[in-house]
Amino acid sequence: MDPRTALIVATLMMLLNGGVLGLMQRGMSPDVQPSAADWRIGTLLAAGGSLLLAAQEGYSPGFILPMGNGCLFLAMALYWRAVRRFDGHADAWWIFLPVALASFGIFWFAAVMPSLEARVIVATVAWSVCLLPAASSLIKGSRHDAAASRRVLAAMMLSLAGFMLLRLIYFVARPSEATSILDTASWVNAVTPLMVAVLPVVGTTAFLMMCSERIRRQWELAATTDYLTDLPNRRTINATGQSRFAAARRTGHKIAVAIIDIDHFKSFNDHFGHECGDQALKHVAALLAQNCRGPSLVGRLGGEEFVALFENAGTNEALAAAERLRASIEQAPVILSGETRRITVSIGISLIANDDNAFDDVLRRADRALYVAKSSGRNRVESDVE
Question: Which residues have CB under 8 Å from 113's CB, separation 6+?
Answer: none
Q: Residue 173 class from Cβ within 10 Å (0-12 exposed, 13-18 middle, 19+ buried)?
A: exposed
Distance CA 109, CA 223 (A): 58
Q: Which of 304, 323, 330, 339 is catalytic?
A: 304
Return the DSSP state at 93. Answer: G
Whether residue 382 lies in the annotated active site: no
Rounded-to-integer distance, Cα 168 and Cα 382, Å: 75
Burial (0-12, 13-18, 19+ Cβ within 10 Å), 132: middle
200 neighbors 14 (Cβ within 8 angstroms): yes
Q: Which residues share a beta bridge with 349?
A: 258, 383
Q: Are strands 381-383 and 305-311 parallel, antiparallel or unpaired?
A: unpaired
**Whole-number Å distance between alpha carbons of 386 and 370:** 15
Angle formed at CA 334 by CA 329 and CA 338, multiple of 5 degrees? 165
Q: Which residues pair with 232 in a beta bridge?
A: 225
Give the residue numbers annotated as catalytic, written as ranges.
Answer: 304
